């Protein structure tokens, strides 16, 4: 049985969800990003208990196929942004289509109708959060960050950064108070 979980975005999320299932007496659960696989079906009482525990830490069980697909789009978007340095040979639209086995037009339309924003805006917001993270680390120049994130130029990155955050990358870096958003809130 697969249990789909909303808002899982990192390794720490997997650890927390794994612990919730262990606490519920389900030691054989295999926890992956957004999915928990259990060998035997869970009864309603166990699911209710797990759902309550998940809700307390910001997760929830997803029951319908469209919501599961939206979560997969979000998960794949994060993966695409955080692995951008691995020389992406395919466009984001091809990447999503190939991994989710649906046309990009369908995925885009579904995402917009459910989330009230476009996949492209979501991707841009993820990229900007990643840029913020890299700026805070202060290990790379802005041109290295622009290249890593797939921007055509530093000017393009700077323009998009300012449009989303209201700050230039250099001003953001000088602020000291780094305003970053958790990935599950993007």
Helix or strand or coil: residue 176? coil
Domain with CATH 3.30.70.100 in the chain: 2-62
Helix (H, G, I), strand (E, B), or coil: what is residue 43?
A: coil
pLDDT at 154: 95
**What local confidence, expressed as pLDDT, does residue 30 receive?**
94
List the CATH code of the domain at 64-186.
Answer: 1.10.10.60
| The pLDDT of residue 157 | 96
From start to end of 11-156, where are the E strands?
30-32, 35-37, 60-62
Tens digit of pLDDT at every position of the chain (186 positions) = 889 998 888 889 999 999 999 999 998 899 998 899 999 888 888 889 999 999 999 999 988 889 889 999 999 999 999 885 555 678 899 999 999 999 999 999 999 999 999 999 999 999 999 999 999 888 899 999 998 888 989 999 999 999 999 999 988 888 766 666 666 666
Cβ burial 163-176 (10 Å sphere, 16+ → b, else e): ebbeeebeebeeee
For residue 184, what pLDDT is reported? 60
pTM, entire model = 0.76
Q: Give whole-number Cα distances, 167 to 33, 49, 92, 138, in Å.
A: 33, 44, 26, 17
The pLDDT value recorded for residue 86 is 56
Which residues of the chain form CATH 1.10.10.60?
Answer: 64-186
Residue (of 116, 121, 106) closest to 164 by Cα position = 121
Q: Count CB neighbours of 151 within 10 A.
A: 21
Q: Is the separation of the CB atoms in 70 and 110 below 8 Å?
A: yes
Record: fold of 2-62 = Alpha-Beta Plaits (3.30.70)
What pLDDT sits at residue 63?
Answer: 85
**Which backbone phi and psi does 35 adopt, to 5 degrees?**
-140, 135
Contact 127, 85 (CB under 8 A): no
Cα 77 off chain centre by: 6
∠ CA(116), CA(73), CA(96), 5° rounding?
Answer: 120
């Amino acid at each position: 049985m697969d249990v789909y979980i909303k808002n899982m975005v990192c390794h720490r999320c997997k650890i927390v969800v794994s612990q919730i299932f262990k606490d519920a007496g389900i030691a054989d659960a295999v926890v992956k990003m957004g999915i928990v696989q259990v060998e035997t079906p869970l009864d309603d009482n166990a699911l209710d208990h797990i759902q309550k525990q998940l809700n307390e830490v910001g997760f929830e069980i997803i029951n319908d196929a469209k919501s599961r697909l939206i979560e997969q789009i979000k998960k794949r978007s994060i993966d695409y942004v955080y692995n951008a340095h691995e020389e992406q040979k395919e466009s984001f639209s091809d990447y999503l289509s190939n991994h989710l086995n649906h046309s990009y037009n369908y995925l885009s339309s579904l995402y917009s109708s459910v989330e009230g924003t476009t996949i492209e805006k979501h991707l841009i917001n993820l990229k900007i959060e990643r840029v913020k993270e890299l700026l805070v680390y202060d290990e790379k120049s802005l041109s290295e960050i622009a290249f890593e994130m797939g921007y055509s130029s530093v000017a393009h990155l700077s323009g998009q950064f300012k449009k989303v955050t209201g700050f230039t990358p250099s001003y953001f870096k000088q602020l000291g108070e780094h305003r970053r958003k958790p990935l599950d809130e993007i």
